[in-house]
A and B are shown apart, each in its own frame.
Chain A
Amino acid sequence: MSLLEVRNLTKSFGGVRAVDDFSFGAEQGEIVGIIGPNGAGKTTAFNLITGVYPLDRGSILLEGKELAGKEQFEITRSGIGRTFQNIRLFKGLSVLENVMTAADPYSPYGLFSLFTLGAAFRRREREVRAAAMEYLALVGLEKYADEKPSNLPYGLQRKLEIARALATGPKVLLLDEPAAGLNPSEVREFIGLVGELRERFGFAVLVIEHRMEVIMTLCSRIYVLNFGKLLASGTPAEIRANHEVTEAYIGKEDASCSV
C-alpha cells in the first residue's frame, strides 16, 4: 500500500476540465514531481488533495484512509501539509507565531486552562514555542523569529512557508513552486534543504516546479500534466527523453519560441 494514493482525480470549472482523471501516488520518503505548462491543472490538483475545492470524482487515500469529502483542516490534521505558490503567510503575526499557529491546532488545552493559567496551557505553550523555534532553525530563520514576515526577503518568505508547513506534522508535504523567484544559489540551497528534511522526517514530498534543476535533481518519479490530463510519467531520465513532454512545454521544434 502506498502512503498516498490518488485515483481518477477529476474537477471541472464551468465547462473546463481543470483536472481530468489524474491518478498518481507517492511512497514514504519519496519525492515526486508534478510538472506541466501553466494552466495544466497542477495547483488545482493540490487544491483538490488539500480540500480547497470538492472533487467531482476520484479518491484520495492517505495510508489507505479516504480524504475526499473531508474539510480542509481535517485533511491537514490527517497529515497533508502544503505551501502556496503565491506565498500566503499570516500578516498580523510574527515569523515565530506563523509557525506556532500551524502547531496550535494540536494543542489540547481549553479556555478553562487558559483563563486559570493552568499547567496544561503553560506547558503546551512552551512546547509549541520550542518546536516552532526548531522548525525555524531547520530552515535557517531562527534569528528572524520576532520579525514580521513582510519584512523578510522573498527567498526567506518561501522558507518560512516550508517551516510553517513542517509544523503541521505532515506525512506528505505538498510544495507548490517553492523555488519560484529564487536566484540560482538559493535554488541550490533549497534543493539541499528539501533533501535534508526528507531524510529527517521521512515524509513523502510532492513538488510542483518549473525549474527543471529542482525536479531533475530531487525527484525519483515525475508526472507531467497537460490540459488537466496526465501526459507522461516516469523517472527523470525517461521524462527528459520524452518528445511529447518537450513539445507540450516548448512547442514543436520549428516554433520560434525561446524560454
Chain B
Amino acid sequence: MLVQNILNGISLGSVYALIAVGFALIFNVLKFSNFSQGGVMTVTAYAGYVASRYLSDRLDSLVLFAAVLAAAAVSGAVIAAAVERLAFRRLRRTKSEPVYYFISSITMGILLENLITIYASSNFYSYPRFFATSAVPLFGVNVAVTDMMMFALSIAALLALLFILHRTKIGLGIRAACFDVNTVQLMGMNPDFLVTTALMISGALGGVSGVFLGMNYTLYPQLGQMVVKGFVASVLGGLGSIHGAVIGAVLLGILEIFFISWVGAGWAPVFVFIVMLAFLLVRPRGIAGIIVQEKA
C-alpha cells in the first residue's frame, strides 16, 4: 500500500511538475504566475483527443499515443505563442507592472476555457485506451501503464527542458532574462523572440500535461483549472526555481495521493492546505530557498 501510494504520487506529481515548471519558467522571465496555462491545457487536452479520433484507425498503441502527445505539445506551443501576442506583448511594450500580466493571463485562461466549452458544449469525452495491458507488476504492486508512461514522459520532457536551458543559446538567454528581460538585447537577442520561446516551451509542456490529465480524468472544459496544482507546486518550490518546482510538484502529488487514501478524496484538499500552510510558516522561502531581500 505504501509503495503503491508513493508510486502513484510520483506519477501524479510528475504531471504537476510539467505545469509547475511552466510557471517557474515564465516567472523567471516575466515575474508573474501565468494562469493562462490552464486555458492552454484545456485546449491541448481536446486537441489531443481530436487527434486520437482521427488517427485511431490508422495508428496503433504506442505510435498513436506518441502522435497524440506530439499534436498536443505542438498545439500548446502555438496557442501559448498566440497568448503572448494577444495578452502580453502590449503590456511589455508599455512596461506594465507584473500584476497586469497576471490579470491578463487569468482572463485569457477563462477565455480559452470558454471557447472550448462552446466547442464541446460541456459534453464529456474520454480518451481511447492506448495500451492493451493496463497494469504491470513492479516492486510487488501493480502499476498502471499510463502512470508509468506519465512518469517516464514527464521525466523526458523535463530533461529536454534542462537541456534547452543549459546547453543552448536560447536557454542561456532565458536564464539571463531572469535578471532583466531587456538586457538580453545587449547579448544580441531579441526579447520578443525569447519571451515567445519561453511561453512556447511552457505551452508544449502544458500540452503534454493536458493529455495526461485528460486520460486520468474525463475530458471536460474545466480541466484546465487543474493549473492551480502547478501554481501551488511552483510557489512552494520557490518562485522561479525550476528544480524547486519539480520537487514541489512531486511532493504535492505524493501528499495528495496519501491523503486521498487516508481521509478520502473529499477531505484531501483540507489536509493539503494545512500541510502547505505549516510548510510556509516553517520555511517561508520555499523549497529552493531563494530569498529575495529588498534593498532600501
The answer, yes or no, to whether B187 is at the interface (CB within 8 Å) is: no
User: A136 → chain B, closest Cβ, in Å?
Assistant: 24
Within 8 A of B (CB), among A45-94: 46-47, 50, 52-53, 84-85, 88
Give the docked Cα–Cα distance between A187 and B81 (Å): 52
Residues of B near A43 (CB, < 8 A) are: 296
Residues of B near A50 (CB, < 8 A) are: 296
Within 8 A of A (CB), among B73-126: none
In the complex, how many residues of chain A place their beta carbon closer than 8 angstroms to a beta carbon of chain B?
Answer: 9
Residues of A near B296 (CB, < 8 A) are: 43, 46-47, 50, 52, 84-85, 88
Residues of B near A53 (CB, < 8 A) are: 293
User: A63 → chain B, closest Cβ, in Å?
Assistant: 24
Residues of A near B294 (CB, < 8 A) are: 52
Residues of B near A46 (CB, < 8 A) are: 296
Interface string of B261-296 (1 = CB under 8 A from A): 000000000000000000000000000000001101
Residues of B near A88 (CB, < 8 A) are: 296
User: A251 → chain B, closest Cβ, in Å?
Assistant: 27
Residues of B near A52 (CB, < 8 A) are: 294, 296
Within 8 A of A (CB), among B168-195: none
Give the docked Cα–Cα distance between A89 and B296 (Å): 12
Give the docked Cα–Cα distance between A47 and B293 (Å): 12
Residues of A near B293 (CB, < 8 A) are: 53
Known: A47-B296, A52-B294. 5 other contacts (CB 8 A): A43-B296, A46-B296, A50-B296, A53-B293, A88-B296
A residues contacting B by CB (< 8 A) are 43, 46-47, 50, 52-53, 84-85, 88
10 shortest A-B CB distances, which residue pairs? A47-B296, A52-B296, A84-B296, A43-B296, A46-B296, A53-B293, A88-B296, A85-B296, A50-B296, A52-B294
Q: What are 10 pairs between A and B in contact, CB < 8 Å?
A: A43-B296, A46-B296, A47-B296, A50-B296, A52-B294, A52-B296, A53-B293, A84-B296, A85-B296, A88-B296
